[in-house]
Structure 1
Amino acid sequence: MIYTITLNPAIDRLLYLEEVMESRKTNRIIDVAYDIGGKGTHGSYTISKLGVDNVALGFMGDLNADKFQQVLTSKKITHDFCLVKGQATRECYIVIDRNTSGTTMLTEKGLTIPRHSVERFLDMLKTRVNSNDMVLIAGSLPTGFELPDLEKMIKILKEAGCFIACDLSGETLKMAVELNVDFIKPNEFELTDLNEDGKDQIDFLRSLNNKIKYVVASLGEDGSYCIYNQEVYKVIPPKVKELNDTGAGDCFVGAFLAGVSKGYSIKETIRLASACAASKVTHSDSSTFDLEDVEKLKTQVEINRI
């Protein structure tokens, strides 16, 4: 089983405008749609769509739990979120215009998790996760769930012997690296922060791979590096017409883990993940991708071993 953990999930409210948003002007909304928000839940959606069983875990507020669960159900995401009383799951407002000049995101701070809820969640993981499972920890920490709690959670998962993937940033990413998880996906800025001694980029990626089984480094428009078994692959994604890049990285991670769980080769896994992410950016919401497009786009992914 694959478990995704989204500690600070969201409901994405997509606001569609006829024209580009401008200040000092009445910007008229012509349509409103809802999508699931939060990196781990995006991963769950992708994994599910690729036919791999998984369960989305994390925290949700009871004040808008019905709305949050409706969105999860509409995306066919199996879930078991811990309910936090007196709190609301945050909403993210994503502004999209017809001219596809890019998106603007406004996000609420999110939940405050009481101490007893943190402990209950960690105890649940001890009894639920075993050595045959994969766990994805993705996204930001909510108020009340501190860095030591993340450390404790990763150590619980390591004791269980499961595969641990982390799509984190800042101090949480550094924590994941220190604890030798199985998968990380830093972007170019996060990679610079990790590389405190200023080593050659490729040499540094290989040094990370000594401790971490899969290292994927996002390079923005320049594609990505994937390092596995000390082999470095430069990956150039397909060229597509972009509508909304929100969630593309999450889609990549979900597809990558689905490929690993299915026993795909590293190149097959990279092609699948890159194609899913490329398909995702052609859609206006935060998570949707098309399986037929993925099959076509896989042939357009360029992979070169360095």
Structure 2
Amino acid sequence: MILTVTLNTALDLTYGVPELVPHASHRVSDISERPGGKGLNVARVLAALGHETVVTGFAGGATGAVLRELLADLSPRDSISAPADVTSGPEPESAPVPGSATASASVPATAPAPTRTTDASAPAPVSAPAPAPAPITDALVTVAGNTRRTIAVVARATGDTTQLNEPGPLVSADEWSALLARYEELLAGADAVALCGSLPPGIHVGAYAELVRSARAAGVPVLLDTGGEPLRRGIAARPDLIKPNADELAQLTGSRDPLRASRDARRRGAHAVVASLGPEGMLALTPDGVWQASPPAKVLGNPTGAGDSAVAGVLSGLVEGLSWPERLRRAVALSAATVLSPTAGDFDRAAYEELLPRVGVEDHTTAA
């Protein structure tokens, strides 16, 4: 089982408009809702790849109830028992964009029309059958506050996306303690854990460092995907892997050179660094070597969730024992296939299967 932690979950709303014009009224052509936040997006892709996944974090209020209802609809079955909720109350975010200017005619740009409960996977080519979707188990902790919403407005004519993110609910000390207890229980059955996204109000800035230390004490490989001061504190706890984008890496280290910045990040405590480089793909600096993976073509579409799909690619590859080049190849192909899907957290299965063998991976170990 793979565990994902999303402390600041969200109900992702995607509004499609023909064209986005400032200071104008718009008629929305299509609307979709998804359970979101970075870790939930990661879990959705992991499940589509066939990995049983448990999600924890916080959810509350009317928005949280909708999120949990949609999350339940994504899972084909519940084969893992989540611990009983220990709180009272009702039960039920910078991404690697492998290109943003033009679309390659050789890359399929089709995706299922967004609906409220569309599954993240689509039929794969006969030569490469898709794995059966695996369960996503809800182990979220209920909080008194209302889960936030994120709103993506997509101009269908260009694929450009405008994103609006609410801050999230205020989390109490008791609610944080409940999350820690839930997390410790779940680590016992986890093969790997991903700590993803921003911190909601009320959570101390060293929260991720605390969660990293718990995972390391339990012997569970831990990936950290956040930015700013939570990343700075978290990296000092020595996570197995961090996945910053170029801006987050520069903010952490003060260097705009990805290779130099990744070296600095490893000195600060990260065992391995996988950096998202936008249209240039991804760079991995690891104890085993240095590689850069690049997409075969630029793609046009909605980049929301592309970084989360990359995390799912790297984490699933780790659990499956893939080499670093193959982990990067999968991550970049998933990221590009997510750009081609109009809804946050989905990826275009046909595009993924077509792109995967065409992602280029270069070995920079000697140069580094």
Q: Same fold (TM over 0.5)?
A: yes
Question: Among 257, 261, 267, which residue is 2:315 paired with?
Answer: 257
Q: 2:20 matched to which residue of 1?
A: 21
Q: 1:156 matched to which residue of 2?
A: 214
Question: Percent identity among equivalent residues?
Answer: 30
Per-residue deviation, 1:74: 3.2
Per-residue deviation, 1:139: 0.3
Amino acid at match of 1:122: L
Could you tell which deviates more after superposition, 178-187 or 207-216? 207-216
Unaligned 5+ segments in structure 2 are 76-135
1:46 pairs with 2:45 = yes
CA 247–112 in structure 1, closer or farther in 2 if over 3 Å, else same = same
Q: 1:117 matched to which residue of 2?
A: 175
RMSD, matched Cα: 2.0
Q: 1:81 matched to which residue of 2?
A: 140
Query: Distance between the aligned counterparts of 1:72 and 1:216, measured in 2?
Result: 28
Q: How does 1:117-196 map to 2 (within 5 A)?
A: 117-130=175-188, 133-196=191-254
TM-score (norm 1): 0.92
Q: Tell whether the 8 Å contact from 1:233 to 1:303 is kept in structure 2 after alignment.
A: yes
Q: Tell whether the 8 Å contact from 1:238 to 1:275 is kept in structure 2 after alignment.
A: no
CA 216–175 in structure 1, closer or farther in 2 if over 3 Å, else same = same
Q: 1:202 matched to which residue of 2?
A: 259
Identify the structure with the greater helix proportion: 1
Residue-by-residue CA offset, 1:205-244 (whole Å, 9 max, x unaligned): 2454464333111111222211222511121113253210
Per-residue deviation, 1:190: 1.9
Amino acid at match of 1:67: V
Query: Distance between the aligned counterparts of 1:191 and 1:95, measured in 2?
Result: 27
Per-residue deviation, 1:204: 4.5
Query: Distance between the aligned counterparts of 2:357 and 2:288, measured in 1?
Result: 25
Q: Tell whether the 8 Å contact from 2:61 to 2:146 is kept in structure 1 after alignment.
A: yes
Q: Tell whether the 8 Å contact from 1:275 to 1:301 is kept in structure 2 after alignment.
A: yes
Q: State the SS of the aligned residue for 2:358.
A: coil
Per-residue deviation, 1:59: 0.3
1:12 pairs with 2:12 = yes
Q: State the SS of the aligned residue for 1:226.
A: strand
Amino acid at match of 2:281: G
Query: Distance between the aligned counterparts of 2:350 and 2:40, measured in 1?
Result: 22
Amino acid at match of 1:185: K
Query: Distance between the aligned counterparts of 2:298 and 2:246, measured in 1?
Result: 22
Query: Distance between the aligned counterparts of 1:61 and 1:183, measured in 2?
Result: 30
Between the two proteins, the alignment pairs up a number of residues equal to 303
Amino acid at match of 2:140: F
TM-score (norm 2): 0.77
Unaligned 5+ segments in structure 1 are none
1:68 pairs with 2:67 = yes
Q: Tell whether the 8 Å contact from 2:187 to 2:220 is kept in structure 1 after alignment.
A: yes
Greater RCO, CA 8 A, separation 6+: 2
Question: Among 281, 286, 299, which residue is 1:241 paired with?
Answer: 299
Residue-by-residue CA offset, 1:266-302 (whole Å, 9 max, x unaligned): 1111111111111111010011113343222111111
Amino acid at match of 2:259: I
Q: State the SS of the aligned residue for 1:64.
A: helix
Question: Among 212, 220, 229, which residue is 2:270 paired with?
Answer: 212
